[in-house]
Structure 1
Amino acid sequence: MRTLVHLSDLHFGRVDDALIGPLIKLVAQIKPDVVVVSGDLTQRARSAQFKQARHFLDSLPSPQIVVPGNHDVPLHNIFDRFTRPLDKYRRYITHDLEPFYVDDEIAVLGINSARSLTFKNGRVNERQIARVQARLSTLGAHITKIIVTHHPFDLPADYADTEVVGRAPMAMKMFASHGADMLLAGHLHVSHAGNTAARYAISGYAALVVQAGTATSTRSRGESNSFNVIQVNSPHISIKRFAWAPELGAFSVFTTESFQRSARGWSRDSATKD
């Protein structure tokens, strides 16, 4: 079994400082095999904010799979936005925009979906998908394959289709042909778990899609600060959502959902609220 902590949308520059210490302590107690951060480490891609994010990441266990989000691209500095959009991200966070972790049970692959030409939306391109395909093609069927982006490939109910990452259908065809199991994302500041069966009618294939809310930002959009703990025990995956409880001054388990892989892909096994 493998355990992943899935954080997203940290937004240093607009964080609730009261959450940082308890979050670091709890993640250490969980002892994850991998920490995933699915983008928007900063609020406005400023050096001071990236330094704060770097300090936070250094306080968490390793290995880590971290990808940038649209807020990690400068907004107001037009020259930087279009000539060196992720220069500060590379300087303070990581040079690797396609991080990759693999062991004998899981593989976790990051893809950069942040783009200079859009203020909010993201996309992936053919070259990125080809590189991911090359890595997936080397993995055995027993490996649970996990993709990490900032922008989602699928959405909770009541969200506009424009929120889906650009060129998603192209990517999904490749994911299906190479057995990608789980797609982790952020961006929406909403927690969600489901599968891709309704949006992408691909015979014999349905990936598990998991959204993380914002772990630390004051920009909560009506949902409590939260993060996911994902336990992979193929062919089963359990997802616990930890939500901030102000009355406790701590994160606690709010929901637990279970999924199982079959010949038709991943589907919900059960869901309970703790």
Structure 2
Amino acid sequence: MRTLVHLSDLHFGRVDPALLDPLRNLVREIAPDVVVISGDLTQRAKSEEFEAARAYLDTLPGPQIVVPGNHDISLYNVFRRFVQPLDRYKRYITDDLDPVYIDDEIAVLGVNTARSLTVKDGRLNKEQVEKIRATLADLDPRITRVVVTHHPFDLPPGAEESDLVDRANMAMEAFSEVGVDLLMAGHLHTSHAANTSARYKISEYAALVVQAGTATSTRGRGEVNSFNVIRIDADRIEVDRMGWDTVHSQFQLLHTEKFLRSGNVWTEAVDGMMAAGI
């Protein structure tokens, strides 16, 4: 089994400082195999915000798979936005925009979907998709394949279709060919877990999508600050949603969602199925 901690939308520059120490302490206690941060580390891509984000990441365990979000590109500085869109991100966080972690049970691939030509939308290009295909194609089929982006491949109820990552259909066809199991994202400050079968009609294939809310931002959009703990076995994934308890000033388990794989199709499991090992 492998354990991932999934943080997203930290938004340094607009964080609630009361959450930082409890979050750090709990992540250390969980002792994950990988910490995943799916974008928007800053609010306005300022140097001081990146410095604060970098300092905080340094207090969390590793390895870490980190990708940028649209807020990590300068909004108002036109030169930085279009000429050096991720210069500060690469200086303070990492110059690897497509980070990879692979061991004998999981492969976690980060992919940059942030683009300077849009205010908040994101996209994948063919080169990125082909890189994912090449990285995963020859791996042992028992390895669980995970792709991390900021912009999501699926949406919770009530979200706008424009929030989907652009060229998602192209990417999903490639993902089906190399058996991508899990798609992790953020962006909407809303938690969500489901499979892709309703949105993408691909024969005998349905990946699991897991979206994290905002771990530390004051911009909660109606949901408490939260993050995910994802436990991965070859044919089972459990997603624990941890939410902020304002009364006790700590993150606590809100609920757990369980999913099973049959072939290349992930579906939500009921407790009886899990107990029977189905």
Is the shorter-chain TM-score for this pair beyond 0.5, marking a shared fold?
yes
Per-residue deviation, residues 100-141 of structure 1 (Å, max 9, x unmatched): 000000000000000000000000000111111110112111
- AA paired with 1:118? T
Per-residue deviation, residues 130-160 of structure 1 (Å, max 9, x unmatched): 1111101121110000000000011112222
Per-residue deviation, residues 191-235 of structure 1 (Å, max 9, x unmatched): 010010010000000000000000000000010000000000110
Q: RMSD of the TM alignment (CA)?
A: 0.8
Is 1:14 the counterpart of 2:20? The answer is no
Q: Secondary structure at the match of 1:109?
A: strand
- AA paired with 1:113? T
Match in the other structure for 1:52? 52
Match in the other structure for 2:274? none
- AA paired with 2:114? A
Deviation >3 Å, runs of 4+: none
TM-score (normalizing by structure 2) = 0.96
Q: Secondary structure at the match of 1:22?
A: helix
TM-score (normalizing by structure 1) = 0.98
1-structure distance, mates of 2:115, 2:31: 33
Is 1:184 the counterpart of 2:184? The answer is yes
The runs of 5 or more residues in structure 2 that have no matched partner are: 272-278
- AA paired with 2:169? P
Q: Is the 8 A contact 1:4 1:35 kept in 2?
A: yes
Identity of aligned residues (%): 60
Q: How many residue pairs end up in the alignment?
A: 271
1-structure distance, mates of 2:129, 2:115: 16
- AA paired with 1:103? D
Q: Is the 8 A contact 2:237 2:258 kept in 1?
A: yes
Match in the other structure for 2:62? 62
2-structure distance, mates of 1:7, 1:115: 21
1-structure distance, mates of 2:270, 2:17: 35
Match in the other structure for 1:252? 252
The runs of 5 or more residues in structure 1 that have no matched partner are: none
Farther off after superposition, 27-36 or 150-159? 150-159
Match in the other structure for 1:40? 40
Is 1:229 the counterpart of 2:232? The answer is no
- AA paired with 1:153? F
Match in the other structure for 1:97? 97
Q: How does 1:188-267 map to 2 (within 5 A)?
A: 188-263=188-263, 265-267=265-267
2-structure distance, mates of 1:178, 1:166: 20
2-structure distance, mates of 1:230, 1:46: 31
